[in-house]
């Protein structure tokens, strides 16, 4: 699974990359590699719990549990083929 707002893109119209990189469709920008680990739900990270961008967009208060996300049953918009670390 991955964040429903994650896309992998080679370009945002201004910057071009040889390899598609993590792009947040809410923030409308490429994200840092460390934040991409939240988007891809690696290391047990969860956008609904750990990403302030996701939570703000979903209207979650600071202390709302991830289950309070109104879109929690939605399927992800993209599946970046989650993989084990590194290879």
Partner 1 sequence: MSYDDYLDGQPTILTAALTGGIQGKETHPELPETPAEIAAAAADCEAAGAGIVHLHARRDNGERAFSTERFQAVTDAVRAATDDVIVQHSTGGTAASDTLRAEPLRTDPPPEMASLDMGPLNRYDRLTTENTREMVAGLHDEMQERGIVPELEVFNNGHLNEALSILDRFDNPPYLNLVFGPGTLSPPSPRSLLTMVERLPDRVEFDVLGFSRHQLPLTTLSILLGGHARVGLEDNLYYREGEYATNDQLVARTARIAEELGRPPATAEQAREILGL
Q: Which residues bind to partner 1, rule: CB under 8 A?
A: 8, 15, 17, 19-22, 29-38, 40, 42-45, 49-52, 55, 84-87
Distances (CA, A) of 78 to 5, 39, 62, 63, 64: 8, 11, 26, 27, 25
Instruction: Give 26 or 42: the residue with its C-beta nearer to partner 1.
Output: 42
What minimum distance in Å lies between the beta carbon of 42 and partner 1? Answer: 8
Instruction: Write the Ramachandran bin of 13: left for phi over 0, alpha for psi from -120 to 50, otherwise beta.
Output: left
Instruction: Give 15 or 72: the residue with its C-beta nearer to partner 1.
Output: 15
């Amino acid at each position: 699974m991955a964040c429903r707002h994650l896309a992998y893109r080679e370009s945002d119209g201004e910057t071009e990359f040889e390899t598609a990189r993590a792009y947040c469709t809410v923030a409308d920008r490429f994200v840092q590699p460390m934040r991409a680990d939240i988007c891809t739900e690696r290391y047990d990270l969860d956008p609904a719990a750990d990403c302030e961008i996701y939570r703000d967009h979903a209207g979650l208060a600071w202390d709302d549990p991830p289950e309070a996300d109104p879109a929690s049953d939605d399927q992800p918009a993209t599946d970046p083929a989650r993989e084990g670390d590194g290879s």
